[in-house]
Amino acid sequence: MSRLSVDRRVLRVGPTGARERPDRLAVEEPLELRINGTAATVTMRTPGHDIELALGFLAGEGIIAGPEDVVNARHCADTTTYNIIDVTLAREFERDTVVRSFATTSACGVCGKESIEDVRVGGAFVLADDAARIGVGTLLALPDLLRERQRTFDRTGGLHAAALFDTEGRLLVVREDVGRHNAVDKVVGWALANGHRPGRGLVLQVSGRASFELVQKAYLAGIPMLSAVSAPSSLAVDLARDVDLTLAGFVRGDSLNLYSRPERVELGETLAQDITADEVATLPAEAHDHAPAEVR
C-alpha cells in the first residue's frame, strides 16, 4: 500500500563517460482529503502514514484540536489506489469556509503581523508556561539522531524528515515525506492519536529550514520547541517570539542559533551568553548573518 521509492532508468554522466543505470526515486502521489464524505483538498505526498497526515493537516488548520473531534478516519473503500482519506468529524463541516482556508495556506498567502495575530487567536494551547528545558548538547545531537532514521532518504536522497523528541533526547516518532510540511503533519497526526496533544515538553526536529508554516504547526500542536538544521525565515522568527516558542536554527555540529525563548536551552556554565535574545533582534543583519548555507 505504501510504496516509498521506485526505480527508474537514468543516464549517469561523469568524468569517465556516460552509462545507463537504475536510480531510486522517492514516490510522490496525490492524496485527496475528504471531510464527512465531501472532497476538501488534495495534497502531494509520499504514500504511508496517510491517516496521520490527514489528522495533522486538520490540526494545523485549526479544524480539530484533539481525538475527541474525530469520529473516524479511513482510506476510502471505493478505491484501489489508497489515495483518498475520509475523515468523519464529530461536528458539521462547513466546506466553503475551510476550503478557502486551505487555498490560502497552500498558496503561502500569509504574511505580516495580521497573520501572526490570526494564528495566535486560533491556537488552543499556551506555550508561555511550558517549563520544558533541554541541554544544549542534547539539542545539538537531535539532527544526527533524526538523520540515522531517514531510511528512505538514504535510498533516494529526495525526502524531508521530521521527528518528535523528549527533552532527554529520546525519539518518539519520525516521519519522511517529499514535502516538509507533510512530514510535520504526519508527526503531529501521530502525536494527536497517541496522547501527545498538546506536545508539552517536546521538541520538533526538522531536516531542513524553519518556515512560518512549520512554526505555526508546532504552535497549534502545543509543541514548545522547534529545531531546524537550516535557516528560519524572518516571519517564522516573528511568530515564534510572539507565541513563546523556542526556535533554534542552523543546528549542526557543535553550534546553533537561538532566535526566541533561549532560556529553555540549558547552555551550561562553560558557555557565556554575551547578548540577550532581545539584543539579537536589534542587531544589523550583517552582525548575525554568518550561518552556513542550507545543505539540503
For the annotated catalytic residues, the residue numbers are 108
Please say whether the beta carbons of 60 and 122 come within 8 A. Answer: no
Please say whether the beta carbons of 87 and 95 come within 8 A. Answer: no
Please say whether the beta carbons of 215 and 196 come within 8 A. Answer: no
What are phi and psi for residue 4, nearest 5 degrees?
A: -90, -25
First vs last C-alpha separation in the chain? 28
Q: Which string of DSSP letters, residue by residue, matches 122-159?
A: H-S---TT----EEHHHHHHHHHHHHTT-HHHHHHS--
Q: How many Å apart are CA 267 and CA 272, to the nearest integer?
A: 8
Determine the residue type at 9: R
| Residue that is written with C-alpha cell 504574511 in the block | 111
